[in-house]
Structure 1
Amino acid sequence: MTTFDESERLIWAGRGAAYAASFAKLCAYAVPPLLDAVEVGSSVRVLDVGTGPGTVAAAACARGATVTAVDAEPTMIELAVSAAPAAEVRLAALPELPFPDAQFDAAVANFVLNHVGRPQAALAELRRVVRPGGWIAVTIWAAPPAPGQALIGRAIQAAGAVRPPHLPAGLAAEDDFPRDESGLRELMASAGLREAACETLRWDHRASADEWWSGPAGGVAFGGQLVQSQTPPVRAEIKRHFDLFSAEFADEDGLLTLPHAALLARGRR
């Protein structure tokens, strides 16, 4: 486990409910195309890695698949068990999964590679547990971020927040890759996956300002931990700028329309 992985475990510890109430709805947009990419249907043996509150696992079960779901965070496991009672849900994490070679027909990881220290090794592990000819599909956030995705970061930067030492600065140079279609496609190929392909998903996420702020206010993900680590005056400045910038996305009804972009890639073992 890398230092980045250790930091991610600390960042997400105890955050299951806060994530489910905020950013989980955003990440759910990618679930149907993700499952389509690995051809999930009746009796297909699917591994859902980084299941979070079980959104992907539940959707795969609804398609009649035989689903195994894992996550590194116990509070996420509790939610996933409730959301996908037909799935086998276990505590586990990349890059070392507790499964034999070629156990699954397909594997998916929805916004998980963003949170691992060695993305290529993570993909190689997914390849290991999928049968020859089976599909693997992943999503990550695109860079540069779409305007809706950048909103919270803009507020943090405008307030002059300082990154605390316990938050990772990023991946080691040898493990990082360009967060664009060609970069993710090449990463898939470098992990031994055939027929690697990548596309960009774009959508507008609708949420109230209070709901969108509840993620960082609840310490969810890197941004939330960054917000919570600041002094009270700086936190108040972040919130003030968040309110100011949110007005750019507000409709007549007060809801925010937040443009997002993500990369969806798949490859075959």
Structure 2
Amino acid sequence: MTTTAFDDHERLQWAGRATAYQDSLAALCAHPAGLLLDAAGVKAGTRLLDVGTGTGTVAALACSRAAQVTAIDAEPSMLMLARRQAPAADVCHAILPDLPFSDDFFDAAVANFVINHVGDPAATLVELQRVVRPGGRVAVTIWPYPPPPAQQLWAQIFDAADVGRPIALPRLTRDKDFSRTRDGLSELLHRTGLDNVGCDTITWIHRTDPEAWWNGPANGIGATGTLMQRQDSSTTERIRDQYEQHITAYRGPDGDLALPTAALLASASVT
């Protein structure tokens, strides 16, 4: 198994947190699912691999298109929810970048906000190409940098609450990292051997309950959650106070939040 310190951190960060993710940030990550499947050319009969399926949102949508779906994830609690959400899919445990499938087995592969959670993004893309037949499609989404307003909001809250940023969090090594821009993601796909690469920016307004937006980090979801859970109770109270102040500008008449956000969607052909 090929893993890095970053991979080990990610496994620990997501362990047992499927329900917390489903109740908080899953709806945010679900938004590009249809466009992702379109970019991969998924239709009736397509043999699709959905890597990092999470709670199974993309897999379920692909099944509704009558695709033949295999969905994998490294986190057992995610697999439990994915099997419920996508009962028609073959849902199994696997850890990127090592996939238990033969060469050219699938017509397409998709990774919805997954490349940003692996220690070697290039190796992951090479492995996706291995299991997809020549002429098949690979499509991925990632969060861009600089972050969109929805994600910037948390940095603003932490700054206002005077929360220090630890330097000990595992990061990708320089030789494995890439620019989280349209050009950077496109270049990553190109240099791993993919052809006919295209990359677009998707923008939308994420509408959510304020407690759901709080509960993701409060339950340890993502890098923001890792930082949140390292704080003592008094600091957490300061963060909550700043949270209430900062979300005021995004509250609608119904009390829900309307958060502008964006993602990068890249797709390409396997040679």
- TM-based fold match above 0.5: yes
The one-letter code sitting in structure 1 at the alignment partner of 2:66 is G
Range with greater deviation from structure 2 (38-47 or 244-253): 244-253
Superposed, 1:96-111 pairs within 5 Å as 96-111=98-113
CA distance in 1, matches of 2:267, 2:184: 13
Q: How does 1:170-249 map to 2 (within 5 A)?
A: 170-249=171-250
- For the aligned residue pairs, the C-alpha RMSD in angstroms reads 1.1
Query: What per-residue deviation string (whole Å, max 9, x for no partner) do you get for residues 134-184 of structure 1?
Result: 00000000111111122122212322323457632x211111111111110
Letter in 2 for 1:49: V
In structure 2, what is the equivalent of residue 126 of structure 1?
A: 128
**Residue in structure 2 matched with residue 74 of structure 1 by the alignment:** 76
Pairing of 1:1-269 with structure 2 (within 5 A)? 1-163=3-165, 167-168=169-170, 170-269=171-270
Indicate conservation of the 8 Å contact 1:49/1:93, yes or no. Answer: no
Paired letter, 2:13 = I
Structure 1 counterpart of 2:107, one-letter code: D
Distance in structure 2 (CA, Å) of the matches to 1:155 and 1:119: 30
Figure out how many residues of one structure are paired with residues of the other and give that number.
Answer: 268
Shift of 1:72: 0.5
- 2: CA distance between counterparts of 1:108 and 1:262? 15
Structure 2 unaligned spans of 5+? none
| Structure 1 portions without partners, runs of 5+ | none
CA distance in 1, matches of 2:164, 2:11: 21
In 1, Cα distance between the equivalents of 2:165 and 2:72?
30
Read off the aligned partner of 2:48 and give its amino acid letter. V
Query: How many angstroms does 1:228 deviate by?
Result: 1.1
- Equivalents in 1 of 2:110, 2:159: separation in Å? 33
Scaled by the length of structure 2, the TM-score of the pair is: 0.96
State the AA in 1 paired with 2:152.
Answer: A
Give the percent of matched residue pairs that are identical in Structure 1 and Structure 2: 51
Counterpart of 1:263 in structure 2: which amino acid? L
Matched-pair contact (CA < 8 Å) for 1:97–1:125: yes
Q: TM-score, normalised by structure 1?
A: 0.97
Contact 1:4-1:117 within 8 A present in 2 as well? yes
Contact 1:68-1:88 at 8 Å conserved across structures: yes
Rounded Cα–Cα distance in structure 2 between residues aligned with 1:116 and 1:94:
7
Which structure 1 residue ranges, 4+ long, deviate > 6 Å from structure 2? none
Report deviation, 1:94.
1.0
Partners of 1:5 and 1:57 in 2: CA distance: 23
